């Protein structure tokens, strides 16, 4: 049987206060050390139980654990992407994409501004907790805006995640209160387009 590996909380690529004024240090610290860490811990616990059930051939228990694996595994995957697609304003955050990604955004959404508007509308309108995504559809070779509930990873919709925005209340409420639209609008100031372009280039190349 394969050796069980446990998942680790990845390092944050910047300080808690680095994304201010768009995202406060208080939100960042709680989001990273409590929420993301919680998904990692709970994923490892669920996987441990899963492997235990596997060794006992307890299929019912293996099935019962799938929701916890999906939720916490999705949370780990999503947040691991989220930290890297953001950057401090002074260190590459904001602006616009370049190269092939910029071209495909123009082709699929008619303009960068139209993409931004459509993305913000869809993401702001998510009911309850979830994520707004720009994803790449490999089969049709096109970009799509998609929304996911809870921590469902974008791969469940057959898309490769290019950039995503967490709209769980824990991601913005301490700073933006109930006005999710302001948070979604503000986050464009810290999108790390250079890294997002790398994600896109990898998605179209593989
Ligand atoms: Mn979150």
Q: Averaged over 123-145, what is the pLDDT?
A: 98
- Ligand 1 centroid, distance to 55 Cα (angstroms): 33
Which pLDDT does position 4 carry in this prediction?
A: 65
Q: Give just the sign of the alpha carbon dihedral 27, 29, 33, 37.
A: positive
- Ligand 1 centroid, distance to 131 Cα (angstroms): 9
Band of pLDDT at residue 1, cut at 50, 70 and 90: very low
Rounded to whole angstroms, the Cα distance separating 182 from 145 reads: 19
- Ligand 1 centroid, distance to 120 Cα (angstroms): 18
Which pLDDT does position 206 carry in this prediction?
A: 64
Which pLDDT does position 2 carry in this prediction?
A: 52
pLDDT tens sequence across 146-186:
999 999 999 999 999 999 999 999 999 999 999 999 999 99
- Ligand 1 centroid, distance to 129 Cα (angstroms): 9
Whether residue 144 has pLDDT greater than 50:
yes
CB atoms within 10 A of CB 161: 23
Q: Averaged over 128-138, what is the pLDDT?
A: 98
- Ligand 1 centroid, distance to 171 Cα (angstroms): 5
- Ligand 1 centroid, distance to 61 Cα (angstroms): 28
Q: Averaged over 68-78, what is the pLDDT?
A: 98
- Long-range Cβ contact pairs of 14-17 (< 8 A, separation 24 or more): 14/87, 14/88, 14/91
| Lookup result for tokens 């768009």 | 22
- Ligand 1 centroid, distance to 27 Cα (angstroms): 10
Whether residue 87 has pLDDT greater than 50:
yes
Neighbours of ion ligand 1 (CB under 5 A): 35, 166, 168, 171
Whether the ω angle into residue 2 lies within 30 degrees of 0, i.e. cis, is no
């Amino acid at each position: 049987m394969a050796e069980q590996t446990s998942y680790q909380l990845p390092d944050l690529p910047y300080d808690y206060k680095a994304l201010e004024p768009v995202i406060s240090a208080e939100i960042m610290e709680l989001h990273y050390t409590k929420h993301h860490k919680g998904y990692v811990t709970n994923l490892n616990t669920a996987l441990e139980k899963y492997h235990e059930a596997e060794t006992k051939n307890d299929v019912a228990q293996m099935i019962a654990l799938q929701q916890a694996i999906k939720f916490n595994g999705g949370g780990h995957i999503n947040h691991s992407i989220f930290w890297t697609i953001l950057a401090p304003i002074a260190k590459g955050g904001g602006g616009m994409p370049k190269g092939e990604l910029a071209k495909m955004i123009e082709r699929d959404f008619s303009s960068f501004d139209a993409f931004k508007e459509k993305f913000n509308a869809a993401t702001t309108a998510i009911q309850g907790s979830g994520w707004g995504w720009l994803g790449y559809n490999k089969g049709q070779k096109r970009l799509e805006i998609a929304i996911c509930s809870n921590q469902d990873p974008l791969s469940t919709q057959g898309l490769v995640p290019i950039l995503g925005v967490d709209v769980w209340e824990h991601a913005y409420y301490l700073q933006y209160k109930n006005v999710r639209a302001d948070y979604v609008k503000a986050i464009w100031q810290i999108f790390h387009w250079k890294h997002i372009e790398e994600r896109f280039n990898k998605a179209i190349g593989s």
